[in-house]
Amino acid sequence: MLAELVQSNFPEGVALPACLRAVCDYLDAHSYPISGCFEICKHGRQAVEGWFPGAPDIQRQIAVFGNGSTGSLYALWLAPCPNAEAAPVVLLGSEGEFTALAGNALEFCRLLGLGYGEIEYDDLTTPPGDWEATAPLRAWLAARFPIQFPATGEEIAHGARDQHPGFAEWVRAWQDAHL
């Protein structure tokens, strides 16, 4: 049910990646919390319209699926890779942070399963504080995907930043030209 709501807010023709669908299914079965303050975003289309007003061509390149406690958005960035399963997961931070968090949705699920309170603010070089609390989510994901969870999130985030260093510039260039 939740997966269909998220899917309905994605750009036309973009499918919700299987692992993010599994996170939605987990929530349908178990409810919150799943990992820190992360929540599935039920209004992704509206959220991306707020970030990129009057720019449907840019809006189609961002598929929002999550949010943090401060209003930050987690999304697939479809500009470098239109395949949602392979698109990087990026952060549109409430304080103007724009960064790649994971190389793809499955990598993001690895990060989500670690148990950081606030993925966008926590020090990903240190072990997460809520490792035990996310054990049910890790088990759910591991039963469905070939997935392993590292001790910290740094390798996931560092790899994403190395693979997709241009996300912040992409957002800022649009903002500078249109806002």
Answer whether residue 107 is part of any domain.
yes
Query: What is the number of domains present in the chain?
Result: 1
The token pair at 35 is 């990992």
Answer whether residue 81 is part of any domain.
yes
Closest by alpha carbon to 47, among 71, 27, 23?
A: 71
In order along its 179 residues, the chain shows pLDDT tens digits of: 999 999 999 999 999 999 999 999 999 999 999 999 999 999 999 999 999 999 999 999 999 999 999 999 999 999 988 999 999 999 999 989 999 999 999 999 999 999 999 999 999 999 999 999 999 999 999 999 999 999 999 999 999 999 999 999 999 999 999 98
The model's pTM is 0.96
Answer whether residue 178 is part of any domain.
no
Answer whether residue 179 is part of any domain.
no
Query: What is the SS3 assignment for 29-64?
Result: HHCCCCCCCCEECCCHHHHHHHHCCCCHHHHCCEEE
